Structure 1
């Protein structure tokens, strides 16, 4: 057996934790980045009479891999295909699509344990699909608006009980800055008068503002759930905890039965073996409001959950769970 870990070449703390755990167990691991294809890696795949799967090999810079030896894949945010810099924009677009259909297609056809399959990740990582599915699975979701119309956004916010909404991106990496790198767009607190006509430029997501007691990061691996309260220690972290990790404190917590049932239904519906979910726990009824579904989310930032989640992931990839 070989566990194939698809991740970026630079250090990824989340992938590193899982790889180290598998190495400690003596489980063969092959780490690769699809972004090496086609410039720094090559592959070949054949299909013919009498075969039910592609017979394929991957050759990276250091060693090769027969895909038939792969029993599980940990798909952890690999980088996009790296194309020759001399290609024109039109040729690069075509080459990227061909790489995704060819190499990506053979990879996606592997019949093994996936955490998670990239097709399922793509669906679960699409906010409108994930939030609607969560509602159908019995989870509580704040009132949400998607629009590119400023007046619609203003009317929605004025109709909320507190006349305040949270604005957030749709799970994308954010706009590209002058240096070519994505720019982080944090969750912000907005009122109707804050909305400008620039909303017309693309789709925007607004959610009812929840006066929270705290947040909860719930990480589910297979049938197991790991949850921790996140208590913000600064004004910036109260709006978006990612803005000030140093101010955060954590406390392990129990997952209410209704929430656990809804999460299991959500994972089954979306075909996930792993998911990180963010909830707001309100100050009044202490209800859990789901605000984010992240099928590839990190988990190492909660110290007391780092080891148990790593072990649970290794169990799934090794075939113990």
Structure 2
């Protein structure tokens, strides 16, 4: 049986897991769905003689039969790269057919997924994830989503200290001049900072929580891995300066671990990364659930998480 890794060509995180599977002599095929249809071919059939799709994926370097795939590691696949000679109209249609065709075949695989993209999608919708987390007994920040500038100013003015954290609701910011996605970091805002441009789309404002430290908690199957993230001063967004952090492995308090397990089970995930803010009084507040979040940047947890992921993929039972 074979582990299929779906990710872009440059993915150092996936490289760690693939290297561990190779060390264990587990067959692995790495493919980027973005290479379809230009340099990946697919041929598959289903009908009266087959209980599922039978066929194969043929890549530049490796081929794999669909019925041989026992586990799928769904990491960071690229968008489909299409023939440059297509018109805009034909390119849109071709991309749609590629997603439906190849994507449909892959998601129909009866394999262990880490994670199945159909499960990643609802877990990655932030308002939905916050609501489910609250129902699972986890504390979440006082949050407002609105396109009403007056409501936003009133909400922020009423928060302790009159300050809020502004965060994007999606995963990226607007497109840059070259069409690429631009990151929008979490920032502090006050009521006076909010202008009428808020009316142009949905905006998310959350209470600003003073922290003793933050925690990155990663779930891999039945296991949990957590690390305190300490910085010299509280940053609005820890992603802006990884070099300033120190990481200390820790254990989640029992009530937090129980809530996290309920949350993971609610979304039927095999893997997830979560961010908590820990107040000086020890209160843990969940601010983000990422069903496909990064984990290799925490040195002390890199090897344990690599091994845990390899365990899941090696033994789909």
Match of 1:311 among 307, 314, 317: 307
Q: CA RMSD in A?
A: 1.3
Matched with 1:290 is: 286
Counterpart check, 1:25 vs 2:24: yes
Q: Distance in 1 between matches of 2:240 and 2:233?
A: 9
- Show the counterpart of 1:98: 97
Other-structure match for 1:242 = 239
Match of 2:275 among 275, 278, 301: 278
Instruction: Measure, in 1, the Cα distance between the counterparts of 2:18 and 2:180.
Output: 28
Aligned partner of residue 155 in structure 2, secondary structure: helix
Q: Equivalent residue for 1:199? A: 198
Distance 1:34 1:234 in 2: 41
Partners of 2:178 and 2:28 in 1: how far apart? 35
Aligned mates of 1:267, 1:228 — CA distance in 2: 18
Question: Secondary structure, in 3 states, of the residue corresponding to 1:55?
Answer: strand
Between the aligned partners of 2:262 and 2:91, the Cα distance in structure 1 is 40
Q: Displacement, 1:52?
A: 1.7
> Offset at 1:51?
2.0
Q: Secondary structure at the match of 1:269?
A: helix
| 2: CA distance, partners of 1:63 / 1:144 | 47
Q: Tell me the secondary structure at the aligned position of residue 74 of structure 1.
A: strand
Task: Rate the CA distance shift 1:212–1:234 in 2: closer, same or farther, 3 A.
Answer: closer
> Match for residue 254 of structure 2?
257
Partner residue in 2 for 1:69: 68
Moved more, 153-162 or 120-129: 153-162
Partner of 1:156: 155
CA contact (8 A) 1:146 1:206 kept: yes
Gaps of 5+ in 2: none
- The equivalent residue for 2:9 is 9
Answer whether contact 1:234 1:244 (CA < 8 A) is retained. Answer: no
- Cα deviation code 1:93-132 (max 9, x no counterpart): 2222211111101100001100000111111111111111
Q: Residue 183 of structure 1 aligns with which residue?
A: 182
Correspondence 1:109-258 to 2 at 5 A: 109-234=108-233, 238-258=235-255
Provide the C-alpha distance between the structure 2 equivalents of 1:156 and 1:55, rounded to a whole number of angstroms.
56
Paired residue for 2:82? Answer: 83
Q: Which deviations, in whole Å up to 9, do the C-alpha atoms of 1:188-243 show, x marking residues without a partner?
A: 000111111111222111111101111000001011100000011356xx211111
Q: Distance in 1 between matches of 2:27 and 2:48?
A: 31
Q: 1:149 to 1:85 in 2, by over 3 A?
A: farther
CA offset at residue 320 of structure 1? 7.2
Under a length normalisation based on structure 1, what TM-score does the superposition of the two structures give? 0.96
C-alpha spacing 1:265/1:61, structure 2 compared with 1 (3 Å) = same
Is 2:134–2:140's contact at 8 Å kept on the other side of the alignment?
A: yes
Deviation at 1:186, TM superposition (A): 0.5
**Residue deviations 1:147-182 (CA, integer Å, cap 9, x gap):** 112111111112222321101112322211113322
* Alpha-carbon distance in structure 2 between the residues aligned to 1:86 and 1:149: 44
Counterpart CA distance in 1 for 2:233 and 2:259 is: 31
Distance across 2 between alignment mates of 1:231 and 1:113:
35
Distance 2:208 2:89 in 1: 43
2:43 corresponds to which residue? 44
User: Does the 8 A contact of 2:111 with 2:316 survive in 1?
Assistant: no
